[in-house]
Amino acid sequence: MQCALCGKAKEVNITRPLCGECFLKDYESRIRRLIQREKLITPQDRVLVAVSGGKDSLSCAQVLYTLGYSIAVLHVDVGVAACTNPRTRNVVERFCEERDIPFYFLSFSEYLGVDMDEFFRKARRPRCATCGMLKRYVFNRFARENGFTKLATGHCADDIARYFLKAWVSGSKESFLWLEKLKPLTPSLHPRVVARIRPLFFSLEQENYAYTKFRGIVVAGCTMCSFFLRKDSWTEMLHRIEEVRRDFALAVARTLARQPEKGEANDTFQECRICGEPTNREICAVCRVRERCSPLTPTGRSGRQGGMTQEAR
Ligand SMILES: [Zn+2]
Ligand SMILES: [Zn+2]
């Protein structure tokens, strides 16, 4: 089979047959157009990209870098060895070093001043849900405290479709309402919330994988939720649906992106009585769990500072 664009031998066939060179051009120009059309990044922005070391977040950092945007990268140690470990940190750090991208590292445990095993246990919910909650909290706070105006993540169309399925089935009004914010750009509706951008909103997992391959990027996948081993039921469901409707993930992403934005400031937001982060309760979800954990040091280190380690070049 031949490349649909140039007629050379095809090297990849995800939505159509393409050679490596045309794939890269197509992938990057689609993302460049999305960034321009939706104003994901403006010249005044300082962009922080959260990078786990997996194919999606590394693709996100690489594509922004290739398109000439000035970015910094944050890698967090989530306290689950299967997800982040010295190897993932090494991969991300080297990626940044080779491209001269400022690299920041922090560990949840040090940032929050708690033992992560205890935190995950006391959160009394699935680890992935707790980890997601912590990432939202830590990424936002770190970005704001360090003067970043946009926080970029590697969420792709497959992730969006999984969230959509979960939210529909959850019976939770909050998850359902949250779908409204699931767009390439989630603007900040509160001074303490940093706007989110998702440049890979319309890219597929398989495309991100091919992108890292063609760009020669070393990836350190999470063994719990990587592309290869992701075996949760939502992925299974998504794959089954895609057997009959091949473009399901993209169709969901397009539909969500088109939903009208309410864009109202969320007046139920208040500041957490303990840490000051925005929340819709008196005490935020992270502090509620942290309160149940014993502090790491007997001196009662304040969680506000939390012994954060950061390194920037
Ligand atoms: Zn070609
Ligand atoms: Zn709090």
**86 occurs within a structural domain:** yes
**309 occurs within a structural domain:** no
Supply the CATH number for residue 244's domain: 3.40.50.620
Q: Output the pTM of the full model.
A: 0.88
What are φ and ψ of residue 182, in 5° steps?
-80, 90
**10 occurs within a structural domain:** no
Ligand in closest contact with the CA of 275: 2
Geometric angle at alpha carbon 97, from 40 and 205, rounded to 5°: 50
| Cα 211 to averaged position of ligand 1 atoms, centre (Å) | 14
**85 occurs within a structural domain:** yes
**101 occurs within a structural domain:** yes
Angle of helix 157-170 versus helix 248-258 axis, rounded to 10: 80
**Domain containing residue 107:** 41-292
Token pair of 43, please? 């010249």
| Cα 293 to averaged position of ligand 2 atoms, centre (Å) | 14
Token pair of 228, please? 């290869």
Geometric angle at alpha carbon 295, from 289 and 301, rounded to 5°: 115
Ligand in closest contact with the CA of 8: 1
Identify whether the C-beta of residue 185 lies closer than 8 Å to the C-beta of residue 195. Answer: yes
Identify whether the C-beta of residue 113 lies closer than 8 Å to the C-beta of residue 291. Answer: no
Q: List the chain pLDDT tens, one digit each, 313 residues.
A: 899 999 999 999 999 999 999 999 999 999 999 999 999 999 999 999 999 999 999 999 999 999 999 999 999 988 877 777 888 899 999 999 999 999 999 998 889 899 988 999 988 888 878 888 899 999 999 999 999 999 999 999 999 999 899 888 888 887 777 788 899 999 998 899 999 999 999 999 999 999 999 999 999 866 555 444 456 788 889 999 999 998 999 999 999 999 887 655 555 778 999 999 999 889 999 999 999 998 876 444 444 344 344 445 4
Closest Cα to residue 270, out of 260, 284, 259, 286? 284
**24 occurs within a structural domain:** no
**306 occurs within a structural domain:** no
**27 occurs within a structural domain:** no
How many domains does the chain contain in total?
Answer: 1
